[in-house]
Every structure is written in C-alpha cells, then in structure tokens.
Structure 1
Amino acid sequence: MLRATNTWVAAMACACAIACIAADAEAQDDQRARLHFESGASYYEAGEYEDALREFQRAYDLSHRPQLFYNLSLCYQNLGDLPQAADYLERYLAEVAEIENRANLEIRLRNLRERIARGQTGAPEPQPEPTPETTEPATTTTATTTPAETTATTTAPVEPAPQAEAPLNVPAIAGFSVAALGLVTAVIFGPLTIAEDSSLSNGCGATRSCTDDDLSTMRAFAAVTDVGLGVALAGAAVGVIFLIVGTGESAPSERTAGAIEVLPMASRDGAGIVIGGSF
C-alpha cells in the first residue's frame, strides 16, 4: 500500500514538472512570437514586405494565433501574390470568431477573388498597417485628407506710440556756448597780454617807469582776458545748472513757484552770474 502511494506521488510530481516545463516553454514561445511580430510590424511600416512576411510567419509558427492570418494576407497582397492573400484572409475570417469589420473584409475577399479570376495580379493599393497583438483586424478605411482651411485674422498693425522727443535744453546749450566763447577769448588775449607785458619790460620798464599810455594796451588785453575767463566760468556754471534743473522752456505764465532763473553777466570790471526766482 505504501509503495502504491509513493508511486502515485511520484507520478503526480512528474506530471507537475512536465506541466511546469510545458508552461515555461509556452511562455518563452509567446515572448519570442511577440518579438517576431513587433519586428514584422516595423518592417511593414517601412514598406519591406518580404521581411515583414518572414517575421509574421515566424510569429505564427510559435504562437499559432489565427489573428496573424490577417497580417500575412496584407503582406502577400502588397507583394502582388493575390491567391495567397485571398487564402489567408479566408482562413482569418473562418478561424477568428469575433471580427468587428467582418462585412468589409468579406467584400475585400470577394474583390480579391474577382481580381484573381480576371488575372489581375499587380500590386494593389496600400492597405492598413497591422496592429500588434490585436484579436480583431484593422478596418480597411480610405481616408480623404482635406487640408484644413486656415482662417487668417487680419488685424490692423498696431503702431507703437510715438515717443516724445526730449526737448533741447536751449538754456544749457546757450550757457555752454557762451562759456566756449569766453574761453576762446581768454585763450587769444591771454598770450597777447603776456607778450605785451614782456615788451614793456624790455622797453620803457628797463629804463624808466612806464606811463599810463604805455600800459593801456596791456591793460586792455588783460581786461579782455579777464572778461573771457569770467564769461567762460559763468557760461559753464549756467549750463550745468540748467542741465540739473531742466530745460527751462516753459512759458512765464506756466512757471510755478520755486522756479529759478540764472543769467550770465559780464562787464569791463569782471563777470559773473545773476540768480533769481520766485518762491
């Protein structure tokens, strides 16, 4: 009795081991079939139908799934082998129970048979690409692509708002211009004053005291030089002040309290600026 029990247990263990091995082999075959199918789909998309046919056939040999008959039919049809395409499509319709677009595929099969009967074995129009791991074949559809109408919204160009040009700071420009004029005057008459002084030193100054008539020319040159320097300093000061306080172009009636007016002043005895304003 014990020996019979041991024999039964050993038989069951053997059966389980065989079943596990078979299941593992089937899983490996499914995995390899999937790889061949994906490779076939890639070849098909690239238009390499002979390579796609080879990969789809290997996938069927490993998995024996009747859904692959549809893919094989597409490959043969694109290769111009209409009899094989019709046979595999007929097998697909016969062995796969649930096919959503069965009516369309039956029409295609009938058209293939009619073309074969007329001897038209030329390459057909392109068919839909196979869909990996589908239990239902892809529906044959003829898509008419209509270019989308482009609606252009025309809007008037928006011109940038004109930027207000910065007004010229006329008082500052005038001040610097006066300063330049005064500087030029000082540069001209300064050397003349020095030359006249040197001439007097070598002339009347060497033997006697120079009279007012002798000194008049030098004094005139010196006065003009001093006035030029004064005007230069005053003009520069006015220009700087107007650069700081603004343009100073507002009308007298528009000036507000606190406005400051700066005017240059020059005379024979000296030069300077006059500052005034209202508070």
Structure 2
Amino acid sequence: MIARGTWIALVAALSIALVPALGIAQEDARTLFQRGQTAYSQGDYDAAIEQWTRAYELDPRPLLQFNLSQAYERLGRLEDAIHALELYLERADPNDEHQSDARARVSALRERVGRTSVRVTGGPEGATILVDGEDRGRTPRPDPIQVSPGSHRIAVRAQGYAEFTSSVVVPAGQSVDVAVDMQPSSGGAQVAQGGDELPVVPIILFSAGGAALIAGAVMGGVALSDAENAPGRDSPEADAARGLALGADITMGAGVALAAAGLIVLLVADSGGGEDREPERISLAPWGGASGGGVAVAGSF
C-alpha cells in the first residue's frame, strides 16, 4: 500500500510535468494567432482564416471568431462571416466591448446577402428559369432572384426553343442581369406544328364517315319504304326504290371507308417519325356498281 506522502509526491510530479505541456499549447495558439494577424495585414485572408481556425481549435476564445468574420467578409464569404459572428455573440462575455459592433455587422451582412441576386430579362413568355438546376419560376420575372455570392449556372427552357445557359459570378451584395436570347429550334418547331395539324385529318375523316353512314341509313330506310309501297316489282316506283337502295349502299360504304382512313391516319401520326419523313398523301376514290359501292382509299405514309 502506497503511503499518503508518496501519493502527494506523485501528484506534484505529474503537475510539474503537465505545466510545460499546457504552456506549449497556449504558446502555439498565440503563435497561430499572431501568424493570422500578419497574414491578414498583408491581405492574405485565406492564410489568416487557416491560422485563426487552428488557434481556435487549441484555445476556443470567442474573439477569434470575431476576427474570422472579418477575414470571411473580405473574401466575400458573407454567410461564413455571419456564422462566425453568431458564434462570437453566443459565446462571448455579454459585457465584451465588441458585442454591439458584432450585432450591427450581423444585420448589415444579412441585408447584403438579401441583395445578392440575379435578374433574368428577355426570353419567351412562360419559359422555365433554372438556377443551379433549381426551378426558380417562369418568364417574365422582373423581380430579382436571390442567390448566394459566387458562381451560378442559369438555364432557361421553353418548348420549341433551344435551351439558354449562362454561367455568372455574383459578387456579395450585388445583382447581376442575365439577358436571355433564345432561338427557335427546328426540331421543336416541327413537333409543335405536327401536334397542331396531325389530329385534324383523322377528325375530318371520322366526321365525314359518320355523316355518310347516317345519310346511307336514311336513304336505305326510304328505299325500303318505297319498295314496300310499290304496286309491282317492275313498276317505276320499284325501280326508283332499287336505285335509292343502291345509293344508300354506296353512301354507307363510303362512310365505312372514310372512318377506316381516319383510323389509318391516326395510327400513322401516333407512330411519329424523323424530321425527314415525307408528309402523308391520301386519295379517296368513290366506286359503285350493281352490287354495291364504296370509297377506295390509297395513300403513302
């Protein structure tokens, strides 16, 4: 069992051994702080930040954050400057003489960050504005779009137009205008035109086919009624009824053919095609005879 005197001697020896180590740590923090001061005075703010950050890791004195905020502000890193000042205000003595200055600077920096923006002008109405890939509204947008200081990629997209892209550097507290100049894209224009024109053809064909079927049905009903009321099979009334029935058959056949043509055109339009595809050509030829009639459909797709 170790005597009490021996314990006291060991504790004293350990304390003596730790004092130089603590002194070295404090000395290193002071050295790093002084190096940071020298770098700051020479305009090397990146080096000052590095030295003061290392000093803060060894000796977390709140005033170091106050100094760091100044270096960050000089580099235009306003959000980092605000964060450093907030750390200082959180951890510093409330009676510290720099408190009021820090609060005022935080407010000023936040106002500057709010003014950092891009203003997009021009471009087709309704185009999508993307800032660094994020949707930020539609054109026209006269109000500024708030961004952080630094480099940003602006893109504007609209159907039927080639995409507009631009890389801009926005200084802290400033607004940068981005003038959009978009040219119609040949592919997009053809798609848009095709989307407007292609559905019209099958609609017309379907409508005409339906009208023909209805007319044929009406004619057939009248022919049947006249045939029933005819005095004999060889009478003029019976001949007229047979002629009307033939016309009804031809008309209904044409209606069926028109509807089929509309379906073909619709299917071809849905299948798409390259930019070099020739336009569809459709020809309709009515035919008729003693046994019936219809419409012959010929075309190239």
TM-score, structure 1 as length reference: 0.40
TM-score, structure 2 as length reference: 0.37
Higher helix share: 1
Higher strand share: 2
Between 1 and 2, higher relative CO (CA 8 Å, sep ≥ 6) is seen in 1
